Copies of this chain bind each other. A is one copy, B any other.
Amino acid sequence: VTGGPAPAGVGVLGATGYAGAELVRLLSGHPGARLAAAGSRSNAGRTMSRVFPSMPAAGLVLDDDPDRPEAWLDRGVQVVFTALPHGAFAPRARAWLDAGLRVIDLSADFRLRGAGEFLERHGVDHPDPGLLQRAVYGLTEWCGPEIDAAPLVANPGCYATAVLLGLLPAIHAGWGSSEPIIVNAISGVSGAGRSPSLSTHFAECDGSVAPYRVGEEHPHLAEILQAMGRVGESAPGPVIFNPHLAPMSRGILASMAFRLGRPVDSGRARELYAARYAGSPFVRVLDEGALPETRHVRGSNRCDLAVRTAAGGSVLMVFAAIDNLIKGAAGQAVQNFNRMMGWPEETALPLAGWSCA
């Protein structure tokens, strides 16, 4: 890999969560990034390799997550990835943007466009509503051109990524009806983060599958509805979103089904999807009969999709699989970074997954 723009100094806030650590790992192999700083409230003063012994070369000493960007600017940081708990970065964002830094935020802080929606969804006022309109939603395959010049990218949630890549082609084509769109999704436990809790305790999760925050409760639903509204010509039916936890660390499998406005056969549905994603290196529409499995995208930035119809062509079924920490978080963030910095979208992102877990 030669040529390309000069390497940019990058920093990672919240480097010791799973998304943060994957960012450090991916950026360490990026020809266009020089990891100049990393922050972690809980591990300040330690090296990254101390916290993650899996990364022996990551000798960088972790800062406390700084409130202001000056020290990081001095170290040459030009782009900052923020992987903080939801709500932690929004109050500081303006300072970082005003200093000329470009920001790729992996939290939910800037994903909704309206302050009202934010209040309704999160129960508190947004700390800096004026920034919401400046943020570009970072679903690369649908928002790519807007991302190129964006100062602030709101990286999509992991569930939202899988669901939207699966639903948007049909919604964009106006295939929906007023009937409900039923979305079931199954996630690995790393999606709940790295802070210990009873619900992520090994002996509680092991050998068990469970739904949680079903129906209209999960925060990603607002993000899904907003993105659907932007591409669809008419209001789709209600979306029922049922997330489930499965006993694995990584991966999301989303299974979607809804009544079509008029019958479509499976071949035509596949064609629509294949055409829509023909230029997208990280979305693969599977051959007829094949179905996605999370192991096939493990460690990869890919989203695998299958689409077909049932009940005489009246119901569309879409299945999507991603690695929640890669395409659902750190990988998509790097994909957006690549667009922002003028690198080919695939740079430093794995296309192949592992042969086994």
Q: What residues of chain A have their CB less than 8 Å away from a CB belonging to chain B?
A: 1-2, 18, 21-22, 25, 28, 52-58, 179-180, 182, 184, 186, 188-190, 194, 196-198, 200-212, 214-216, 238, 240, 242, 244, 246-251, 253, 255, 257, 259, 284, 286, 290-300, 302, 304, 308, 310-312, 314-315, 317, 319, 325, 351-357
Contacts and interface: CB of A to CB of B under 8 A. Distances in A.
A201 B203 contact: no
Contacts of A299: 299, 354
Contact of A311 (B180, B259, B292, B293): B180
26 contacts: A22-B355, A54-B295, A54-B353, A54-B355, A55-B353, A186-B209, A201-B201, A206-B248, A206-B357, A207-B295, A208-B251, A208-B298, A209-B246, A209-B253, A209-B293, A210-B253, A210-B291, A210-B293, A211-B291, A214-B291, A214-B317, A215-B308, A238-B310, A244-B255, A325-B355, A325-B356
Contacts of A315: 180, 238, 240
A310 B215 CA distance: 6
B284 A56 contact: yes
B249 A206 contact: yes
A293 B209 CA distance: 6
Output the residue of A58, A259, A293, A355 with the most chain B CB within 10 A.
A355
A207 B298 contact: yes
Q: Which 9 A-B pairs have the closest CB atoms?
A: A207-B357, A208-B295, A54-B353, A210-B293, A21-B355, A238-B311, A196-B196, A184-B184, A215-B310
A207 B208 contact: no
Output the residue of A53, A242, A253, A290 with the most chain B CB within 10 A.
A53
B248 A209 contact: yes
A259 B240 CA distance: 11
Contacts of A294: 207-210
B189 A186 contact: no
B250 A357 contact: yes
A42 to B, nearest CB: 10
A257 B180 contact: yes
Contacts of A302: 56
A212 B315 CA distance: 17
Contacts of A246: 186, 209, 246-248
Contacts of A18: 203, 355-356
A312 to B, nearest CB: 8
Contacts of A311: 180, 216, 238, 240
Nearest to A184: B184
A208 B357 contact: yes
Contacts of A212: 291
Contacts of A257: 180, 182, 240, 242
A298 B168 CA distance: 35
A54 B9 CA distance: 32
Contact of A2 (B2, B203, B210, B356): B2
Nearest to A282: B56
A214 B212 CA distance: 23
A67 to B, nearest CB: 26
Contact of A317 (B186, B242, B284): B242
Contact of A204 (B216, B259, B295, B310): B295
B352 A58 contact: yes
